[in-house]
């Protein structure tokens, strides 16, 4: 047992219009009334953030964006600042998702700049890392994960301190949207490696407090098994977060 509160987070990616976003939030809110002990978070597309915030009302649902830029303002066509996300009602921001890294050329150096800017705005970063199939098959999983941690968290390393509220998400690229989930053993092995890395780089208290979510084809039927592992503190859910009848059972994984 540990003191970390499980977080179930939904990354909606580029899906759902305004009405669909508000309706999904309301459906989740209704189903989780009175539910304790699990943090629930949704990450809609930028344009749906204010509508989602309004739909959340006083329900216990946290709001995140899926990305941000590191500069506070200026001539950066198409970008969104941390301040804008705070104004839209966000408390969290997903950074360095593998789709950002592979499709939009985001490097760990860029993720590090974003993490720093998010912290300055009081946004809690959910920092994603994970190896490709090629890297796993070449036996390079730990090497790649370590490289991404060292690069994406450089500002924390330089400061010799990592805020314990920081959230990490281990998302093996080969398990995202493929229906192939890492087995709970495979996921636990990497989560344990990440926690050890935090302890070595920072200290045991931080390592004990930082939450590490697992992402990659999490569904109602595999959530409980994944969540039962010592170092898996929640899930970052893609496809199954778009429908209340799939997402809610993941939130209520303990009842299954």
- Kindly identify the residues of this chain, within the stretch 96-115, that bind ligand 13P according to CB under 6 A: 97
> Is residue 118 a contact point for ligand 13P (CB under 6 A)?
no
Of 97 and 195, nearer to ligand 13P (C-beta) is 97
> Is residue 66 a contact point for ligand 13P (CB under 6 A)?
no
CB 145 within 8 A of CB 170: yes
> Is residue 93 a contact point for ligand 13P (CB under 6 A)?
no
Question: Quick one: tokens of 151?
Answer: 């690069």
Query: Which of the residues are catalytic?
Result: 97, 171
> Is residue 237 a contact point for ligand 13P (CB under 6 A)?
yes
Question: Quick one: tokens of 109?
Answer: 């150096």
- Kindly identify the residues of this chain, within the stretch 177-196, that bind ligand 13P according to CB under 6 A: 177
CB 52 within 8 A of CB 74: no
Please give the C-alpha separations between residue 28 and each of 100, 153, 172, 209, 224, in angstroms, as whole numbers: 27, 33, 27, 27, 19
**Which one of the spans 46-54, 82-90, 108-116, 237-245 is the region binding ligand 13P (CB under 6 A)?**
237-245
The site that binds ligand 13P (CB under 6 A) totals a number of residues, namely 14
Rounded to 10 deg, the angle between the 220-227 and 244-251 helix axes is 20
> Is residue 11 a contact point for ligand 13P (CB under 6 A)?
yes
Q: Is 129 helix (H, G, I), strand (E, B) or coil?
A: strand
Contact pattern for ligand 13P over residues 205 through 224, marking x by CB under 6 A: ----------xxxx------
Residue with the shortest CB distance to ligand 13P: 238
122 vs 132: CA distance, rounded Å: 31
Of 12 and 70, nearer to ligand 13P (C-beta) is 12
- Chain-centroid distance, C-alpha 113: 17
Place of tokens 């600042």: 81
DSSP 131: -
- Kindly identify the residues of this chain, within the stretch 146-175, that bind ligand 13P according to CB under 6 A: 171
Of 11 and 188, nearer to ligand 13P (C-beta) is 11
42 forms beta bridges with 10, 63
Quote the least distance from Cβ 34 to ligand 13P, whole Å. 27
Which listed residue (197, 239, 244, 247) binds ligand 13P by CB under 6 A? 239
Q: Cα torsion for 117, 57, 44, 98, to the nearest 10°?
A: 50
Q: Which residues bind ligand 13P (CB under 6 A)?
A: 11, 97, 171, 176-177, 215-218, 236-240
């Amino acid at each position: 047992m540990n003191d970390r509160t499980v977080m179930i987070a939904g990354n909606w990616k580029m899906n759902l219009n305004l009405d669909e976003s508000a309706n999904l939030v309301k459906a989740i809110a209704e189903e989780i009334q009175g539910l304790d002990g699990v943090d629930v978070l949704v990450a809609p597309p930028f344009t749906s953030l204010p509508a989602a915030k309004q739909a959340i009302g006083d329900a216990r649902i946290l709001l995140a964006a899926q990305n941000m830029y590191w500069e506070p303002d200026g001539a950066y066509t198409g970008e969104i600042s941390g301040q804008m996300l705070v104004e839209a009602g966000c408390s969290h921001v997903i950074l360095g998702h593998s789709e950002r890294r592979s499709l939009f050329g985001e490097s760990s150096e860029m993720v590090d700049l974003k993490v720093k800017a998010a912290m300055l705005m009081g946004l809690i970063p959910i920092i994603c890392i994970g190896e490709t199939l090629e890297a796993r098959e070449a036996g390079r999983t730990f090497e790649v994960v370590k490289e991404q941690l060292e690069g994406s968290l450089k500002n924390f390393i330089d400061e010799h301190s990592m805020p314990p509220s920081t959230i990490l998400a281990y998302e093996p690229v080969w398990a995202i949207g493929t229906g192939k989930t890492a087995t709970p053993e495979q996921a636990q092995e990497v989560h344990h490696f990440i926690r050890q890395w935090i302890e070595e780089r920072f200290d045991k208290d931080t390592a004990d407090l930082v939450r590490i979510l697992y992402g990659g084809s999490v569904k109602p039927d595999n959530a409980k098994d994944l969540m039962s592992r010592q170092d898996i503190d929640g899930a970052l859910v893609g496809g199954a977060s778009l429908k209340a009848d799939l997402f809610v059972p993941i939130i209520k994984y303990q009842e299954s």
